[in-house]
Amino acid sequence: MDLVYRLAIAASRLLFRLLGLRIRVDGAEHIPRAGPAIVVSNHVSFLDFIFVGLVARPSGRFVRFLTRYDVWHTAIVGPAMTAMRHLPVDRAAPAGAFLEARAALIRGEVVGVFPEAGISRSFTVRALMPGAVALSRSTGAPVVLVAVWGPQRIATAGLPISVRRGRAVSIAVSPPITVPTDGSVQDATVELGRQLQQLVTGVQQRHRDQPRPGCPDDRHPAHLGGTAPTASDAAVEADVPRMAVQPPDVSAMF
């Protein structure tokens, strides 16, 4: 079972060894060993899904990611995505992906969601799609938050790729969260974004690689002393779906 997924994980681990990555994971035991779960992660690089997928392996789980449908248009990647049972999302018509993700959860799968629907150039949690909350309410599946930090120094949106060896990658996993069934989906999504931002900021503050004092660092968030765009500046150019819900202002949280 999941032969292609296992091969992809083996290839990823080989890549990490070649890059000499120093990976720290806190809380991997929070991924349920059985039953449905919705893994909700921030999005800072093109490699995030690999790290989020690896976090689930100690629990013996494979994460089925909701991913942009155009990935399936690539000759080799498309069949591999199908074999790994990832779920294509058409942002113009997301209902089909929602129904497929709901069916996967009912089967007891772990579904992975990047609710920002794109990489955050401010490296703070940007506006969130409400799908994770809606899926949790529809199925009763708990939400597990994952914060990933470090891969933005390798490959992120709008900045050059770097293959310098020895980068640090930090990942934190929250205990399962029960999404309340009362109140609006929008309010629950705002709260989810607040909790995710807290988890992300904690990981960023504890991370091994910190900016040097007085040195510009456009791969570190502005509210922690970096020179990445602020959340408001990044939002001007962000391709955010109309349905997305804006989380609390990060500058007001810390």
What mean pLDDT comes out for the span 216-236?
88
Looking at residue 24, its pLDDT comes to 95
Percent of the chain with pLDDT over 70: 96
Q: What is the pLDDT of residues 42-92, one digit of tens each?
A: 999 999 999 999 999 999 999 999 998 888 888 888 889 899 999 999 877
CB burial string 197-217: b at 16+ within 10 A, e below? bbbbbebbeebebeeeeeeeb
SS (H, E, C) 39-64: EEECCCCCCHHHHHHHHCHHHCCCEE
What mean pLDDT comes out for the span 99-105?
96
What mean pLDDT comes out for the span 36-41?
98
* CA–centroid distance for 195 within its chain: 14
Least confident of 7-11, 160-164, 209-213, 235-239: 235-239
| Pair type for strands 143-149 and 63-68 | unpaired
- Token code pair at residue 247: 């989380």
Domain of residue 185 covers 3-252
83/99 Cα distance (integer angstroms): 19
In the predicted structure, residue 254 carries a pLDDT above the cut 90:
no
Strands in 87-89's sheet, in edge-to-edge order, are 22-26, 168-173, 143-149, 37-41, 110-113, 63-68, 87-89
In the predicted structure, residue 244 carries a pLDDT above the cut 80:
no
Looking at residue 251, its pLDDT comes to 58
* CA–centroid distance for 237 within its chain: 20
Number of domains composing the chain: 1
